[in-house]
């Protein structure tokens, strides 16, 4: 099995379309809940989180030193990272199959899927990899 992060993305247009859709917050939670239950029942869900609205976020820009911190809301937003799922499935095709069932719809709504490399794929003789492995073992993650 491999882990894949499925990142929920949208745009300002996505947010506006949802606001105009008439779907209540409770309905959205119900749809997401049913979807998450399918992932749980299939034994593939590792983690899932939604994020607070972008206007309450903060951006740390490292293009200069010291980094510049900007509070939301932002001007024109090309894409918003709204939440994620981590799935433990054998292939990217399996992750895509689950993504295609997600209750996401509307202009600009997307899910990006990226594999999460295992710690075993990094150089095991590296001091920092050894420290991370020890931490993961002590935290029950390995």
How far apart CA 70 and CA 66 sit, in angstroms, is 13
Instruction: Identify the bridge partners of residue 50 per DSSP, sorted by sequence position.
Output: 83
Give the domains, in start order, of the chain with CATH numbers: 2-57+70-138 (3.30.70.1060)
Quote the tokens at residue 23. Answer: 């779907």
Model pLDDT for residues 24-66, shown as the tens digit of each residue = 888 989 999 999 999 999 999 999 999 888 778 888 889 999 9
Question: What one-character DSSP code corresponds to residue 117?
Answer: -
How does pLDDT run across 96-133, given as a tens digit for each residue? 999 999 998 888 889 999 999 999 999 999 999 999 99
DSSP classification of residue 97: H
Indicate whether 74 pLDDT > 80: no
Number of other residues whose CB lies within 10 A of the CB of residue 13:
13
pLDDT at 79 over 80: no
**Cα(6)–Cα(104) distance, rounded to whole angstroms?**
12
């Amino acid at each position: 099995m491999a882990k894949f992060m499925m990142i929920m993305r949208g745009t300002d247009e996505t947010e506006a379309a949802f606001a105009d859709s008439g779907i209540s917050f409770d309905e959205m939670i119900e749809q997401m809940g049913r979807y998450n239950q399918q992932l749980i029942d299939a034994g593939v869900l590792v983690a899932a989180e939604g994020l607070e609205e972008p206007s309450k976020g903060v951006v740390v820009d490292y293009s200069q030193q010291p980094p510049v911190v900007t509070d939301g809301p932002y001007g024109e937003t090309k894409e918003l990272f709204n939440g994620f799922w981590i799935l433990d499935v054998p292939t990217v095709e399996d992750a895509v199959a689950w993504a295609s069932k997600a209750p996401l719809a509307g202009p600009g709504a997307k899910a990006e899927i990226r594999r999460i490399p295992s710690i075993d794929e990094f150089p095991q003789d590296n001091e920092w990899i050894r420290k991370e492995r020890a931490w993961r073992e002590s935290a029950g993650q390995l």
